[in-house]
Amino acid sequence: MRTPIIAGNWKMHKTVGEATEMVRKLDELVADSPVEVVICAPFTSLASLSALGLNKVKLGAQNMYFAEQGAFTGEISAAMLEDVGCEYVILGHSERREIFKEDDELINKKVLKALETGLKPILCVGETLEQRKAGETENVVVEQTTKGLAGVGAEQIRQVVIAYEPIWAIGTGETSDGNDANQVIASIRQTVAKLFSPELAQEVRIQYGGSVKPGNIKEFMDQPEIDGALVGGASLKVEDFVGIINY
């Protein structure tokens, strides 16, 4: 049985004070949930969130750079994230791919460095609306998954979470329907099975993301292939995010 994992991707939201106030509440409200709960906060809040001594909620970052250290102005290393108490790091989010021009090769280097450092990557894949309309969804996610996981060892793949986020569903209020997302996620799992083994593929958790809300989470969690959600907008308010976690 795969433990469901619901992660909040706060993107560029919340000051340290706002972040600590919400996560302190969240940690109490979801204390007894069987779901693994992660908050991926901006870098600036991570150390303060870690200092809260959380019981339930785990911490993640939203990006990192693959180099160990050095002259990379504005970047953050995997070891720095580990040092401030991160367990997870979102890599290859569509906003990183589109706005900051990250490609599969760069994302793969980040995935490998995260794993080497002991961080669990949440590798994001997903198609654009044009790709969907052209019937390319499966090809796109298979290619992103294959390239993103290149060089990952069989002993490391269990640490990886994959998030299927159709780009047209992010922040738009549009969602994929549960069945459709389930099918795409099944093809991602088949890709993992080919790259590693069918047994290992059964252990890898694959989330759905894109306009997940308290009112639609169940539709996704009811699907056999969907193991959780990566939640943007609805993770910013404690009552909404708790509603999602208590699906």
Active site residues: 93, 165
Query: Which tokens in the block code for residue 63?
Result: 């990006």
For ligand PGA, the closer CB: 121 or 196: 121
The phi, psi pair for 65, rounded to 5°, reads -110, 155
Q: Least distance from C-beta 154 to ligand PGA, angstroms?
A: 28
Q: Which amino acid is at 187?
A: S
For ligand PGA, the closer CB: 35 or 196: 35
Measured distance CA(169)–CA(151) in Å, rounded: 30
Q: What ranges make up the beta strands (E) of the chain? A: 5-9, 36-40, 58-61, 88-91, 120-125, 161-164, 205-209, 228-231
Q: Least distance from C-beta 11 to ligand PGA, angstroms?
A: 7
Q: Least distance from C-beta 93 to ligand PGA, angstroms?
A: 6
For ligand PGA, the closer CB: 4 or 210: 210
Q: Which amino acid is at 55?
A: N
Measured distance CA(60)–CA(84) in Å, rounded: 10
Q: Least distance from C-beta 114 to ligand PGA, angstroms?
A: 17
For ligand PGA, the closer CB: 60 or 233: 233
Give the CA dihedral 13, 17, 19, 20, nearest 10 degrees. 170
Query: Which tokens in the block code for residue 178?
Result: 């549960």
Positions that interact with ligand PGA (CB under 6 A)? 9, 165, 170-171, 209-212, 230-234
